[in-house]
Amino acid sequence: MEIYLLNLLLIIFWHIIFSYKKNEVKEKYFLFIVGLQLVLLGGLRSISVGTDTIVYAAEYDFFKTFKAVRYTRIEYGYIAIMTVLNYFNLHFNWLLFITSSIIVFLVFKSIKEYSSNIFLSVYLFVAMYLYYYSFNVMRQCIAVAICFFCYKYILKREAIKYVLGVLLAAQFHTTAYIMLPLYFVYMLAKQRMFFLVFLVILYFIFIFINPFVNFVLQYMPRYLGYLDSVFFDSSTGLRYVFVYGIILLFGYINLVCYKIEKRFLLEFLYMSIAFLLNLLALNGYAIFARLAWYFTIYTIIFLPNCLSRIKNKYFYSLSFLSIFILSFCYHYYFLTVDYQRITPYEFIGGY
Q: N- to C-terminal Cα distance for the chain?
A: 22
Domain limits for position 213: 189-309
Cα torsion angle, 106, 108, 114, 120, sign = positive
Residue 107 contacts residue 148 (beta carbons within 8 Å): yes
Residue 131 is assigned to a structural domain of this protein:
no
> pLDDT tens, 242-271?
888 899 899 888 888 887 777 888 888 889
> pLDDT tens, 321-342?
999 999 999 999 999 988 888 9
Residue 182 is assigned to a structural domain of this protein:
no
Residue 299 is assigned to a structural domain of this protein:
yes
Residue 241 is assigned to a structural domain of this protein:
yes
Residue 175: is it exposed, middle or buried by C-beta count within 10 angstroms (0-12/13-18/19+)? buried
Residue 283 is assigned to a structural domain of this protein:
yes
Residue 216 is assigned to a structural domain of this protein:
yes
pLDDT-based confidence at 208, cuts 50/70/90? low
Q: What is the DSSP letter of 89?
A: T
How many domains, in total, are found in the chain? 1
State the average pLDDT for the chain. 84
Residue 196 is assigned to a structural domain of this protein:
yes
Residue 347 is assigned to a structural domain of this protein:
no
How far apart CA 34 and CA 28 sit, in angstroms, is 10
Nearest 5°: phi and psi at 347? -80, 175
How far apart CA 296 and CA 273 sit, in angstroms, is 9
> pLDDT tens, 80-129?
999 999 888 889 999 999 999 999 999 999 999 999 999 999 999 999 99
The pLDDT value given to residue 230 = 47
Nearest 5°: phi and psi at 72? -70, -15
How far apart CA 246 and CA 230 sit, in angstroms, is 25
